[in-house]
Structures are given as structure tokens and as C-alpha cells.
Chain A
């Protein structure tokens, strides 16, 4: 029933892992560069061309392709309904791929060394902007296909509650569609006509503002699929149940609402934006932390149910009983742990005042490797460890290798992000070819060692991940088709009150049990 859709999912994952493998190559080079070891002259490229590839391939391509594939997978499975317009979904895929090709051409030929945020007036070849726009258009088409699939399902099941995974997938795409309006406007009205020479000047502040209107919700687009897995699958893998389904839905809805108006927290240091706006966005950013705190409670409570069901006792004893030897579980649990630190750092970034200390320092990449580079990437690795066997009808190639990958990532990231945060607090800038910088302060030396060593360990882990995934997908022993881990709920039946808020929530989530 799903063979056709699974093919689409496999292709998305394939492109995602290729992007991760290529983009990841530059990670250790950048980390070593901070230690003063520059391999760029040998490679014959500049630090910044490599960094553009790193940012675009891992932050934009890896995440977007993985998410599109994964969300198609969970939507069709949880609705038990194949995609209604599969041809359109393929068109979307090809558009995205052509877009990546065009942007990749511009970057590889050194005509788009503008980093993944492409702030004008730094100018890239039009193919870069047009390519990225095509990627966005592709995702719009795919999200329309998912909405149509949901509509068909709703038509056939007028009285049923939307299954949680489909609900989460749809909210994620709604969030994405709203967010991408900003970057689409920047591309269509500013960057593309300007790079083609049709308009003369460009408003740099407006471009930054449109970018960050998109850029912050973007991080939730990365994160929500990970939350989806923590809520809907991880409890099962831990031997427990989802503690509270309605709270999980509430968290998704709050994230959808609050994630939109927060972009100015990336522009605290920009002149030209009033204090009132910056203050408001501080408050809203703190509000958007609330659903993440709900998630922390709900997910950890679900894991506790699992740990206790496996015989754990005591206040913390249940933690030891969790299946730490299962790569998929361990990856995601450690991702959650790293994300806790990322969250603490996030409060600091979002603080109107403290942001002055960390803005544009190495702290920021230190932070974002805990979030998109761990909470998201390590969770996706954990998902891949069950999803790829399921999609290819093969076994996970080597459990021990996968486990080594997971723990190496954890320790590498702990060192790396510690070094980066530390150097950042000491004022070391991000996005800078530090090996040839005219300033290198003695106080950065020790943190840089953490960064460099951590970066190399991370890279080893990345190699293991790619090897494991490739061997599993193409060479591992055939095995009977695995099942998708699907957590049951504790609070299956809801007792809604009659308050208007609850009615609103009820209608939004179609929760009609």
C-alpha cells in the first residue's frame, strides 16, 4: 500500500545523507582552524567557501530533505492513507533537487560565498538565490500534497481524532509555510531582481528582517520533527507510553503560534529597530520556551514510565534501566540531554541584555550545534537506525558501530560546544578564518583545544554514521520488515471542560473522542 510513498521517502533520505556527508567534511576543518591549524591552503579553497557549503548543506539541505521524507512517512502511516497526489510530490522533490543543484553550482564555483544567511549587500550568483527559492517552492508543493491527503482522510473519517503523528506533521508544515513567506519575499522582491541587475540598490536591514522572520521559525521546523519522534516513538522504544497526548498537542500548537513573531532576537545588535520591538520579541521568545518546557516534562515522564516498567525503582534509578544499549534510543535520549544545555544557552541568547556578550561570537555556533547539530541531527540519526531498515527491508548493519557513533557524537559535542561557548564568552568571533586572523588572543588557546579535539571526535562519529547508514541501506542482510515504533498513550480518553479555550483547542486539533 505504501510502496510508492516509501520510494519517495527513500529518495529524500538519500539526498539528506549525501548532503550531511559532504557538508560535514568541513566541520573538522573549521574546528581545527580555530586551533590555528588551517588545511584550506592545501585544499585550495577559502575558509568562507567551505563554511558556506557547511551551512547550506547541513543546516538547510540535510534538515529539509530529511524532514520532508520523514514527515511524508509518518503522515501516510498514521493516517493509513497513501499520498493522494504522489506525482505532485515527485515534482516537488525534483524541484528541490534542481534547486540544490543550482545553489550548489554557485557555491562550488565560488560565486556564492555568502554563507547560509546570504545577507546583502554581499552578492551571490543568481543561481544561488533561484536555487534556494526552488527548494522552498518544492516544500510548498509537498505540504499541499500532505494537506490534501489529510483532507481525504478527514472526509472518510469525519468523527475520528487526528492521529498524533499526522497532527504533528501538519502543524510542522503549517509553521514552515508561514515562515517561508518571509524568505520568499526577500528572494523574489529583493535578492533575485537585484542579483540579476534589474534593481539597483537593496535595503540591507529589510533583508535581514525578512530573513529572520523566516530564520527563527526555521529552527522550530527542524525541531518539531524531533519532538514528534520523542513524543510518538521514543516512549515506545523506552518501553513506556506517551504520558499526555493532549499536552503534546498543546505544545505543538503553542509552538506554531509563538514561533512566528520572534525574529528580532537575532537583530538585537542591529541599529534601526526600536527598543520596543526588541523588548517585545524578548518576551515572545521567552513565551516560546514554555511549550518546550512542557515537552521536557512530558517526554521525560514518558521515559520514566518506560524505565519503571523495565524494573527501575527510586527517584532516579529508572534512568539506569532505560535501553542505553539500543542505538536508536540512546541517540535520541542523548540528543535530549544535549538539548537541555542548548535550551539554557538559548535563554541567554534571547535575553535582551546578555545577547550583547554573545552576539556573533563563537558561542552562537557552540549553541547551534547543541540544537540543530545534536537535538535534531542526533535524533534524526536515531530515527534513521529504525527507519532505514524498515524502508529497505534490511537489518541495521552493525549495532555496535551505531552505538559507538552515538556515544562519540555525545562526547565530541560536549567538548566541542564547551570550547566554542567558552571562546565566545571571551569574545572570539564566529564566521572568521581564525587561523589567519590578525588578532589571536592568548586567552582563546585553551578553549580552542576543546573545540578542535571535540570537532575531530565529532567527525569520526559522522563517518561512522554515514558508513552505518550506507551499509544498512545497500548491503546489510535482508530481514523481515521491521515495525515502526509507535507509543501508546496514557491519557487516551480526554475529558474536556466546556470553557471556550478548551473548545477552541478541541476544534483546532479535531480531538473528538
Chain B
């Protein structure tokens, strides 16, 4: 097949560009540790909310500056919907849905998760600056979807 010389150059540049993008993504993943939710076991959506942590959702300190949040989403609220941590806290979220599919996005962080019935969504965010961080359900979940929100309150260290 005859390919014009300019077109060959274009194809080569395209390939280099695409490989460059993939390279940059690899760096962000393997060097900077950007991580997405991964494989998790499929659970029975009816019983997950009864598991000990999700039956009493809330914030748990696991080490100095380290917290775990067990978050339950439902039509149309989050429990808890107010989370207080000191500045500098590293918070790992374990979040589930009790009914339909919801979402969780925390403003000002990279945390962006789907909450699908039967799956525990996990993500970590670090809160360095004091202030209020809005979190919202970002997946349409019915009529009052736009009212489903909460906040992380990051308090300045005394």
C-alpha cells in the first residue's frame, strides 16, 4: 500500500504522541501513586448495610493523623453528612449504597467514586488546608438527587 511521505510523518507523530500520553499516565500511576477503585468482592446488596462498620457509620481514627470513614448513601442523604478532621488528616473512605447507584465526589480533592449496590467503594484523600469541603452525590439517583450532599470540616490544629 502506498502511503504519502507526509502521511507517514503524521502517523509516526500520532503514534509518538499517544505513547507519550500513555507514558505520562504511567508516571502518574507508578510514581505519584494515583489510584482508582479496584477489584473488590461482590457482596449481597441487602446485607452489606448490616455489616458492623456500615451498621454504625462514622469516622474512626486508626493512627495519628489517619482516619477511616464508613459512609452509607441512601435516597437522598449521606450518613454521616458532616465529617470533622484536623488539618493534615489522611482519610480513607469506605462507602456503600443502600438502594440505587449513587456517587461521591469531594470538592477540592481527587476523590471520585461510584457507589454501586453490593460493592464497597474505597478512596483516600488528604486534607491539608483547614476549611469546609463540600461532598456531593454526582450520579443521578432520583427526584431529590440535587439535595444529596455533605461536608468535610477540616479544623486548624490548635
Contacts and interface: CB of A to CB of B under 8 A. Distances in A.
A411 interface: no
Interface residues of B, number: 56
Contacts of B134: 439, 441
B38 A269 contact: no
A357 B36 CA distance: 12
Interface in A353-385: 353, 355-357, 359-361
Interface stretch (A272-280, A309-317, A395-403, A462-470): A272-280
Interface stretch (A17-25, A76-84, A200-208, A472-480): A200-208
Q: Which one of B18, B112, B146 has the greatest number of beta carbons of chain A within 10 Å?
A: B146
Contact of B147 (A273, A438, A505): A438
A351 interface: yes
B155 interface: no
B117 A356 contact: no
B140 A115 contact: yes
B140 A432 contact: yes
Interface in B67-119: 99-101, 103, 105, 107-108, 110-114, 116-119
A360 B21 contact: no
Given A272-B40, A438-B149, A297 B140 contact: no
A121 B99 contact: yes
Interface residues of A, number: 69
A290 B7 contact: no
Contact of A122 (B36, B111, B114, B142): B142
A9 B134 CA distance: 51
Per DSSP, chain A at the interface is: loop
B42 interface: yes
A113 B144 CA distance: 13
Given A121-B99, A430-B138, A433-B146, A347 B25 contact: no
Q: Which one of B1, B29, B38, B139 has the greatest number of beta carbons of chain A within 10 Å?
A: B1
B118 A205 contact: yes
A278 B36 contact: yes
Given A270-B114, A294-B11, A351 B21 contact: yes
Given A244-B7, A360-B139, A432-B145, A290 B101 contact: no
A297 B108 CA distance: 39
Contacts of A496: 1
B100 A353 contact: no
A41 interface: no
A356 B100 contact: no
B140 to A, nearest CB: 4
B116 A270 contact: yes
B55 interface: no
Interface in A113-133: 113, 115, 119-122
Given A275-B38, A360-B103, A433 B145 contact: yes
A46 interface: yes
A513 interface: no
B10 A205 contact: no
B28 interface: yes
Contact of B36 (A121, A246, A269, A436): A269
A431 interface: yes
Contacts of B122: 271
Contacts of A505: 1
Given A357-B110, A438-B147, A275 B21 contact: no
Interface stretch (A162-170, A222-230, A281-289): A281-289
Interface string B136-158: 10111111011101000000000
B101 A282 contact: no
A494 interface: yes
Interface in B18-48: 18, 21-22, 25, 28-29, 34-40, 42, 45
Given A205-B119, A273-B39, A121 B114 contact: no
A74 B149 CA distance: 51
Given A121-B99, A204-B117, 18 more contacts: A48-B143, A121-B117, A122-B142, A204-B118, A205-B119, A269-B103, A272-B42, A275-B35, A275-B38, A282-B22, A294-B11, A294-B14, A356-B111, A431-B140, A434-B146, A494-B2, A495-B2, A497-B1
Interface pairs A-B: 9 shortest CB-CB:
A274-B39, A437-B146, A271-B37, A293-B14, A429-B138, A360-B138, A271-B121, A431-B140, A353-B28
26 contacts: A122-B100, A204-B45, A208-B116, A243-B4, A269-B113, A273-B37, A275-B38, A282-B22, A290-B14, A290-B18, A293-B14, A301-B7, A347-B21, A352-B36, A356-B112, A427-B108, A429-B105, A431-B145, A437-B147, A438-B146, A438-B147, A438-B149, A439-B149, A495-B2, A497-B1, A505-B1
